[in-house]
Structure 1
Amino acid sequence: MTGTKPYRLKATCRQTGGRVGNIVQRWSCAAKREGKTVTAVHIATVASPLTLGKQQKQRRGIVGEGNRKQPLIHSNVQLWILTVTNCAGKEKNDDSPAPDDLISDIIPSASMLKQLAIGVETTKVVKSMKDLMILAKDYSPVKERSGLSLSAMKSFVVGEKEDKFAAEFCCDEKVMSFIDLLTDPEGYLSRRKNRSRLATPTRMTKLSKELHGAPPESFVPELAEAMGSLKTLRKMALFWSRVVLELRRLWCEGKHIPGIPSDDIPNLNSCLLHQQLQVINCCISRKRRRAIATASLDSVLKQANNIAELSHPPGDLLLPESHHVYARISSGEFVLRLGADKQLENTTLLDTGEPVYTPVMQEWPLLTEDIIKETEEFVLRTGSVGAACSQLLSDMQAFKAANPGCILEDFVRWHSPPDWTEAYDESKETTGGDTSPSRGHLSTRMQKEGNLWRELWETAKPVPAVRQSPLYDEDLSVEGILHGLENFSPSSLFEQLFLSLLSSGCAIAEAKVSSNEFLYKMFKECRDYVVLICQGKSWVEKADDICQVYETMAVMALNPDKVIRIMNAQSDQTCTKEDPNNLWKTPSKNQIDNPTTAQSSTMFSKKPTKPIPC
């Protein structure tokens, strides 16, 4: 579009009443009739002042209507946040480095959080990351989400013009560092250890649980940092596809995902993405254990074949030191013991007196929160408990294979001790002899006719776990997870990354602030505010507020001395000029209707000011 007409139209739009969409549409149609080309940048230029004012009014309405009884943060803390952020510009030197550069090396930058929050909002209608990669070439957040701020729209619209596919990833330090983590985890982690930002080991913090995020400095927060450093949706989608490809490669090569526990069951307090990555690592560990168990079984069979080729009876060669290979049954014959793990101390079979061995068993299925929900719905709908019966039958078969000559009572003593009551021989106790149980009895429920345990025991055959039909298919499970990651909902992905990065950054900051009682008290109130907002469904609408509080928390951690100095210098002057409580009162209806007066009563400004440089 040429000349000054766009600016005249822009001025006309400002003076015209009605909805923003109608104004932009009329402006666009008029421009097209004149033969002009209408681009996303032109639309953004016209719509920005209108949508920005509309969104600010909506934001003020949320604060005013939803929380009229009391402010979310204590008034002293609210005043303190304003004081610190407003003094940032006064104390900043011209030659000082940018705050984001300082923060990102120690605490994840708030700009990354903002980018992820924008991703949540702008991709709600996109079904999968694959679709996002296809649509992102011509995708404009202005067309999709007209309520975004001007800075947010410029970030994506201008960025997408500059996007040059994956070739520009070499300039993205965070992205390349994360790819190094996947391709060379040992080398990356050794370098990462030297600049670790947490003095304590990685673990789920209280904040991580409350926000349903991921453990600090684990894989997901690292991924969130890399994703948040990108400026276009297309780059984000391309980067995600590369991450999934690397995860598939690690799975095929049997290598654990770095930054994820190698053999922990899914932590339901963490986000779904972290749970799914835990499943992948756990499946890799299980396949390794199965390979070891298979090799052990083959070794036992080979040893048994060598013995069978000799003319001597097995008992003459094996007893007493080789009970792990053969077991004597009640008829006196020796039967091969298969799938035995280790011997139980001071425990023998009731009928034969042979030592009891714990079997190598099939492991329970790995359940993430979405699978648990599906399973619960299935059980409620059908009343089926087949999965539990299958696991019990598998344990019985493994126990029979490891303990030839055993009976149901032996299995119950090991598998469910409360269902067995032992009866000791008093004569042996008085003489100091062996106190192992001679006999006992099952519990009442186990003795009832038609008991499920007895029915399963009668059908169970002695089969070691490695030769049973698998109860949980690791290959099928991981393939389903990887397929789901390829088709991940963009909005859901960005939301999980946002919350994980937020909780990780706050945990790092908290570890540095906890030694200062004054700052830590302020920090906890800020943290509680963040938790309260993020646990609500509409936290995206207050993403700027969250980011400003987060920046303030980072300042407390990075430069506590300067924060205290500024607070001491400003407290008297600020308190004499106006009442601190008046700064944070909930806006009245008249203030909400009047943008000029309402702006001073919003909890945080639309554009957070830069924190104090360190």
Structure 2
Amino acid sequence: MKDLMILARDYSPAKEKSGLSLSAVKSFVVGEKEDKFAADFGRYEKVMSFMHSLTDPGNGHISRRKTRSRLDTTTAVSKHFKELHGAPLESFVSELAEAMGSIKTLKKMALFWCTVVMELRNIWSEGKHIPGIPTDEIPNLNTCLLHQQLQVINCCVSRKRRRAIATASLDSVLKQADDNAGVSRPSKDILSESPVMYARDNSGKFVLRLGADKRFENTTLLDTGEPVYTPVMQEWPLLTEDIIKETEELVLRTGSVGAGCSQLLSDMQAFKAANPGCILEDFVRWHSPPDWTETYDDGKDVTVGDNSPSRGHLSTRMQKEGNLWLELWKTAKPIPAVRQSPLYYEDSSVEGILNGLENISPSSLFEQLFLSLLSSGCAIVEGRVSGNEFLYKMFKECKDYIVLVCQSKSWVEKANDICQVYETMVVTALNPNKVMRIMNAPSTDQTPTKEELSNFWKTSSKNHKNNTSPQSPTVFSKKPSKPILC
């Protein structure tokens, strides 16, 4: 990273200490036009392939590379990115790292990164998912922060789509209700055609169900006997590791638990809207079954069951004076989730992430990309050597060293050693038969010396670097001559 920064035209130690950000580097690329991108990066095959995958709306996957392993691929891959805090194999971040690693100057790296962020903005504004990232999974805290943030963006896209569907459904129900306006009691035809729309409240009047999703098993409301419906609810905020840390610090500093109360109140309001005539006991039976006990006619308490012939009772904690659930239930109004004040603002959250990516420091970005490459590389090498007990043992030793060093706070100072150990892994995977012949050579005068083995690694590595095969698993095209410093 330091070698790359020296290539910047206005590099100085003072700027390095103050933390050069990519927003500052953007001055290098002001005035660059879109057509010039192809001119500048046309010879970078990985870059052009990556950008094509990113901008092609019909491309659902970034990578087509597959690992060949006798191990459980999913388990092996997840293990590596968890240990190194990188990114999954064949993910957007891993492919981005390979593309970035093929560029030789800081100026072009900055231009490439700014273009990637610009395309991410376009993808978000068009309501599309980022390829190579799960479309609707909460952030995986075992991955690097960049991967987590991209997961948030995809989740927000999925949530906005679901909210649009829920809003359209609610509007449809209200339109049908307007068509039946003035009718004090819905006809049997209306009830038979739209049984979810209406429910009798405590007074026996038919009231619209709003925001109902699906029927909850065979459970009925205790007071009215109407079916219980699960409501469409607001989803929990999406938390990445940096937001979790900030939240924990806020809780420790202020003792606030407001977020949990807001979610509970939102669920209560949605439940009331979907189940006219419900009471707190109905909500508890659905939301927190352990806090409700059914009582049969013989007076014995049993676990929660459907269609119980008699009422039960709340748990002791729910019956305590001043119970939070009871207080919130009293204030909750029947409001469907799509009409409530949002608990989580997708637009502002994604905008904050994209702004952060524009201003990310090179050291932070390159660290995450470097660790993602290491975790992907380990997964690929393991798939190639897993069938050979001796080579697999060598791989384990190399991988354990990489993990140990990368988990230390001063791992950057040993980046050169990490690259050399990784190169050894690559050579072992690419030339397993030759490695076995050298390592198993008889103890004679012909036994290779340490220097000869070292020359073998270097020669094999050099031959591999000159190999342009797309299946080449290494991206360290040039090993630094001395330890890399930030």
TM bucket (normalised to shorter chain) is 0.7 to 0.9
Map of 1:523 onto structure 2: 395
- 1:459 and 1:387 map into 2 onto residues whose CA distance is 17
Moved more, 433-442 or 324-333: 433-442
CA-CA distance at 1:557 after TM superposition: 1.9
* Contact 1:216 1:503 survives alignment (8 Å): yes
Distance 1:307 1:135, change over 3 A: closer
Query: Is 2:461 aligned against 1:611?
Result: yes
Matched with 2:289 is 417
Q: Does 1:449 align with 2:299?
A: no
The alpha-carbon deviation at position 515 of structure 1 amounts to: 1.3
Structure 2 residue aligned with 1:567, among 417, 425, 439? 439
Instruction: Sort the Cα spacing of 1:284 and 1:136 in 2 relative to 1 into closer, same or farther, 3 A.
Output: closer
Name stretches of at least 5 consecutive residues in structure 2 with no aligned partner: 31-35, 465-486
Q: Of the two, which has the highest radius of gyration?
A: 1
Q: Write the distance in 2 (CA, Å) between the matches of 1:341 and 1:514.
A: 48
Question: Is 2:427–2:460's contact at 8 Å kept on the other side of the alignment?
Answer: no
After superposition, the CA RMSD in angstroms is 3.2
Number of paired residues? 445
Supply the distance in 2 between the matched residues of 1:241 and 1:395 (Cα, whole angstroms).
41
Deviation at 1:115, TM superposition (A): 7.2
For each residue in 1:546-590, what CA deviation from the matched residue of structure 2 results, as whole angstroms up to 9, or x when unmatched? 11111111122223122212323376547697xxxxx7xxxxxxx
Counterpart-to-counterpart distance in 2, 1:567 and 1:203? 26
1:255 is matched with: 128
Q: Distance in 2 between the 1:240 and 1:305 partners?
A: 52
Give the AA of the match of 1:129: L
Q: Per-residue deviation at 1:317?
A: 2.9
Bigger CA drift: 412-421 or 200-209? 200-209
CA distance in 1, matches of 2:386, 2:95: 24
Please show how residues 394-413 of structure 1 align to structure 2 within 5 Å: 394-413=266-285
SS in 2 for 1:308: coil
Note if contact 1:136-1:233 (Cα within 8 Å) is conserved in structure 2.
no
- Residues 216 and 230 of structure 2 are in contact (CA less than 8 Å); yes or no, is this contact kept in structure 1? yes
CA gap 1:570/1:264 in 2 versus in 1, 3 angstroms: farther
Is the 1:204–1:214 contact (alpha carbons within 8 Å) kept by the matching residues of 2? Answer: no
CA contact (8 A) 2:77 2:379 kept: no
Residue 409 of structure 2 is matched in structure 1 by 537
- Identity %, equivalent residues: 72
Corresponding residue number in structure 2 for 1:55: none
Amino acid at match of 1:485: L
Q: 1:241 aligns with which of 95, 111, 114?
A: 114
Equivalent of 1:265 in 138, 145, 151 = 138
Asked whether 1:486 is paired with 2:358, we answer yes
Q: How far apart, CA to CA, are the structure 1 residues paired with 2:135 and 2:325?
A: 34
Residue in structure 2 matched with residue 327 of structure 1 by the alignment: 199
Q: 1:317 to 1:527 in 2, by over 3 A?
A: same
- How many Å separate the matches in 1 of 2:324 and 2:299? 36
Whole-angstrom CA distance in 2 between matches of 1:266 and 1:171: 35
TM-score with structure 2 setting the length = 0.84
Does residue 213 of structure 1 match 2:86? yes
Distance 1:208 1:469, change over 3 A: same
CA contact (8 A) 1:348 1:355 kept: yes
1:259 is paired with a residue whose SS is coil
Provide, for residues 501-540 of structure 1, a one-character-per-residue CA deviation record: whole Å limited to 9, x for no partner. 1110111111121111121111111110111111112222
| 1:424 and 1:435 in contact (8 A); partners too | no
Change (3 A) 1:442 1:566: same
What amino acid sits opposite 1:354 in the alignment?
E
CA contact (8 A) 2:219 2:307 kept: no
What letter matches 2:313 in structure 1?
A: H
| TM-score for the superposition, normalised by structure 1 | 0.67
Partner SS, residue 138 of structure 2: coil
Per-residue CA distance 1:36-90 (angstroms, 9 max, x = gap): xxxxxxxxxxxxxxxxxxxxxxxxxxxxxxxxxxxxxxxxxxxxxxxxxxxxxxx
Whether contact under 8 Å (1:262, 1:285) holds in the other structure is: yes
- In the alignment, the residues of structure 2 paired with residue 259 and residue 132 of structure 1 have an alpha-carbon distance, to the nearest angstrom, of 27
Give the Cα–Cα distance (whole angstroms) in 2 for the partners of residues 220 and 332 of structure 1.
58
Q: C-alpha offsets along residues 301-330 of structure 1, whole Å, 9 cap, x if unaligned?
A: 112222236x58305334456331000112
Q: Distance in 2 between matches of 1:124 and 1:252?
A: 36
The amino acid of 1:172's aligned partner reads Y
1:610 is displaced (CA, Å) by 4.8
Structure 2 equivalent of residue 224 of structure 1 = 97
Is contact 2:295–2:310 with CA below 8 Å preserved after alignment?
yes
Contact 2:76 2:379 (C-alpha < 8 Å) held by counterparts: no
Q: Per the alignment, in what secondary structure is the counterpart of residue 422 of structure 1?
A: strand
- Deviations, residues 424-455 of structure 1 (Å, cap 9, x unaligned): 23599xxxx98525211111111111111111
Correspondence 1:68-217 to 2 at 5 A: 125-134=18-27, 167-184=39-56, 186-187=58-59, 189=61, 192-193=63-64, 195-197=65-67, 200=73, 204-217=77-90
Alpha-carbon offset, residue 289 of structure 1 = 0.2
The answer to whether the 8 A contact 1:425-1:435 is kept is no
Correspondence 1:360-509 to 2 at 5 A = 360-426=232-298, 435-436=307-308, 438-509=310-381
Partner of 1:298: 171
What CA distance in whole angstroms lies between the structure 1 residues aligned with 2:373 and 2:310? 60
Give me the whole-angstrom Cα distance separating, in 1, the residues matched to 2:143 and 2:74: 17
Residue 187 of structure 1: CA displacement? 4.0
- Say if 1:437 and 1:505 are closer, same or farther in 2 by CA, change over 3 A: farther
Contact 2:218 2:306 in 1 (8 A): no
Match of 1:546 in 2: 418
C-alpha distance in 2 between matches for 1:182 and 1:392 = 39
Give the SS at the match of 2:461: coil
Quick check: which one's helix share is greater?
A: 1
CA deviation after TM superposition for structure 1 residue 172, in Å: 1.0
Please tell me whether residue 274 in structure 1 is matched to residue 147 in structure 2. yes
